[in-house]
Structure 1
């Protein structure tokens, strides 16, 4: 018998598919990517030579983790707890966790993610690798479900939202996510936000496009896996091989867009939703956006959601930014 959790997830998938595939242009929300297969494919993407985001952010953490943790603890905080939205397997987060453990003997880490597989993996690996670390995972879709952060007595919360995950959401959605997080924080708590930067003289559009359409085809497999998930969860009959992965740069929106383009006219049935949908040749499903930020755009985002930025860290090529901001 399926668990209540599984039923709830399937209902959410059905609602998302029904809402997005019955409108024009057709869309699917990016959280649908992250079933077990999708989560593993994304981990592969982060190691690709074209995908500079993960290694660049990791290098920023390696160079600045001690300073980041010290600055959070600088203003009369006894100790901290670290929470993370969209934690995944938390491979980069370990750098910050180790820097925090160097300042206090015990640390509570609260990862939040839609993938139980990733949470289980992160919990096992991190608790084994970092003595004094307690991992308390929370399975939740932080974009649609309430979250609750635990605050040990006297602790300051450092909330991580890294990996440029904020870029997957529209400006309005990004504001809502940060505002909802702010509602869980107290004045003086801190957010660490990782953002991919917009094209510049040092960063070409070609560099951006390659990161979302790699030569090995891993991102294409990741994109098509969303259809495989619908087949499994909703008893659908998509043929993923009949959809082409497309990555586009929109200068007007300052974002990379990912689409699945129908290669010919085809009809698909989603039996669990009682839906039959016909795709015309060339018609697309818009599956993901990845917004790219300028410093003025970041400043406005923080201002409208209740934070004051205190320091921004960049790599030498100015590809990526990691910003500390205090809840006000």
Structure 2
């Protein structure tokens, strides 16, 4: 058997080939999160335009003790797309006040983000033990440990990350998560809400196209990531960052728009032969969706994945929702 056939295919290459060879070019958002992309996203969360993180943090700061105590003790926390887990510390601190030790199981594609989470949480919150799992929860299996038969699992999917996926994909993610849980375990789901009386479309667009250009750098970094991982020859500066509101699909969209006609080569690898991708001026790569929810769409999504909402927490302006749901 040829040696090349023994080499596992590269999921980055597979995703790039599938998306860039499509009639409408796309790249999956998990490709944002190399080490630099993770750092840029942390910067985004601190921007004045990006209300999502500080609003969700305020909700958790107010309600973390109630959320944690509602499950009873003991509990373990597991988190999809944990990143550096800065907001999760609020929940872990609340749990550590009612049980002597707390196992936290963060799952993320970025080893550097998880390393930071381990260091900071174990330094700052006595009694917290962190057991990280480097995995792409979209494409790879995940494992959630139940320390004892009496322990309940509180699964976290916060940050409105669920909004990056189509309704069908979101349902699949929650169903995969539900398969790791037992009846009586719980999910805490963070969702950004659709425009309304206190949120304009202009405010949404600003959150994804900030004045400092950090989100633009984050978007273009996906091309730098492909250059490093695959040896492609993208010139990131030859693409504009574009953010727009799609009211029909109730989502923000991010695109990279080619400034001029250009061609990019994907070198041969175990996932496929060398291929050249052509761009016309103004042609785009659709890099991210961020769906915005209503109470009805949140409830419908949870029901399709076998969760029942038990309580929804909001900020005073109803910009964001954090929903606690029970696995059924």
1:85 to 80, 88, 99: 80
2:132 to 137, 140, 160: 137
Distance 2:261 2:250 in 1: 31
Counterpart of 1:22 in structure 2 is 21
Distance 1:268 1:26 in 2: 13
Q: Does 1:175 align with 2:174?
A: no
Counterpart of 1:226 in structure 2 is 222
Whether the aligned pair in 2 keeps the contact of 1:10 and 1:234 (CA below 8 Å) is no
Counterpart of 1:4 in structure 2 is none
Counterpart of 2:3 in structure 1 is none
Q: Does 1:185 align with 2:181?
A: yes
- TM-score norm. by structure 2 comes to 0.95
Distance 1:9 1:26 in 2: 25
CA positional deviation for 1:272: 4.0
Counterpart of 2:301 in structure 1 is 301
Q: Would you identify which runs of 4 or more consecutive aligned residues in structure 1 move more than 4 Å?
A: 7-10
What per-residue deviation string (whole Å, max 9, x for no partner) do you get for residues 259-286 of structure 1? 0000110011122451111100000000
Question: Mind listing any 5+ residue stretches in structure 2 that lack a counterpart?
Answer: 1-5
Distance 2:280 2:8 in 1: 30
Counterpart of 1:203 in structure 2 is 199
Q: 1:278-317, aligned counterparts within 5 Å?
A: 278-317=278-317
Q: 1:1-328, aligned counterparts within 5 Å?
A: 11-73=10-72, 78-153=73-148, 154-273=150-269, 274-328=274-328
Q: Secondary structure at the match of 1:105?
A: coil
Q: Secondary structure at the match of 1:54?
A: helix
Q: Secondary structure at the match of 1:276?
A: strand
Whether the aligned pair in 2 keeps the contact of 1:213 and 1:220 (CA below 8 Å) is yes
Distance 1:96 1:189 in 2: 16
Distance 2:18 2:223 in 1: 15
Distance 1:321 1:209 in 2: 19
Distance 1:10 1:165 in 2: 27
RMSD (Å), alpha carbons: 1.3
Cα distance change on mapping 1:38 and 1:201 into 2, 3 Å: same
Cα distance change on mapping 1:8 and 1:164 into 2, 3 Å: farther
- Give the paired residue count: 318
